[in-house]
Structure 1
Amino acid sequence: MKLTLYTDYSLRVLLYLASAPDNNKLIQIKEIAQAYGISKNHLMKVTFHLGKLGYVETIRGRNGGLMLAQEPKEVNIGELVRQTEEDFHIVECFQDHASCVISPHCKLKGVLYQATQAFISVLDQYSLEDLIINKEQLTTLLFPDVESTDGQNKESKQE
Structure 2
Amino acid sequence: MQLTSFTDYGLRALIFLASLPADQMTSITEVSETYKVSRNHMVKIINQLSRSGYVAAVRGKNGGIRLGRPAGEIIIGEVVREMEPLQLVNCSSEFCHITSACRLKKALHDAVQCFLQELDKYTLADLVEDNHPLYKLLLVERSSISS
TM-score in same-fold range (> 0.5): yes
What is the CA deviation profile of residues 88-120 of structure 1, one whole-angstrom value per residue up to 9, with x for unaligned ones?
210121xx4443222211221211111111111
Is residue 140–residue 146 contact of structure 1 (8 Å, CA) maintained in 2? Answer: no
Is residue 132–residue 138 contact of structure 1 (8 Å, CA) maintained in 2? Answer: yes
The answer for the alignment partner of 2:26 in structure 1 is 27
TM-score, normalised by the number of residues in structure 1: 0.82
Instruction: Give the RMSD, CA atoms, in angstroms.
Output: 1.9
Distance 1:10 1:146 in 2: 18
Distance 1:97 1:143 in 2: 51
SS in 1 for 2:22: coil
The answer for the alignment partner of 1:154 in structure 2 is none
The answer for the alignment partner of 2:123 in structure 1 is 127
Distance 1:146 1:119 in 2: 33
C-alpha change, 1:146 and 1:113, in structure 2 (3 Å) is closer
Is residue 92–residue 98 contact of structure 1 (8 Å, CA) maintained in 2? Answer: no
Deviation at 1:133, TM superposition (A): 3.6
Does residue 100 in structure 1 map to residue 96 in structure 2? yes
Q: Percent identity?
A: 39
Deviation at 1:62, TM superposition (A): 3.3
What is the CA deviation profile of residues 34-60 of structure 1, one whole-angstrom value per residue up to 9, with x for unaligned ones?
111111111111112211111111111
Distance 1:103 1:45 in 2: 34
- Bigger drift between 103-112 and 74-83 goes to 103-112
Distance 1:119 1:139 in 2: 27
TM-score, normalised by the number of residues in structure 2: 0.88
Q: Which runs of 5+ in 2 are unaligned?
A: none
Residue-pair matches, total: 143
Is residue 26–residue 64 contact of structure 1 (8 Å, CA) maintained in 2? Answer: yes
Distance 2:18 2:38 in 1: 20
The answer for the alignment partner of 2:86 in structure 1 is 88
Is residue 56–residue 70 contact of structure 1 (8 Å, CA) maintained in 2? Answer: yes
AA aligned to 2:72 is K
Distance 1:140 1:56 in 2: 23
SS in 2 for 1:80: helix
Q: Which runs of 5+ in 1 are unaligned?
A: 148-159
AA aligned to 1:110 is K
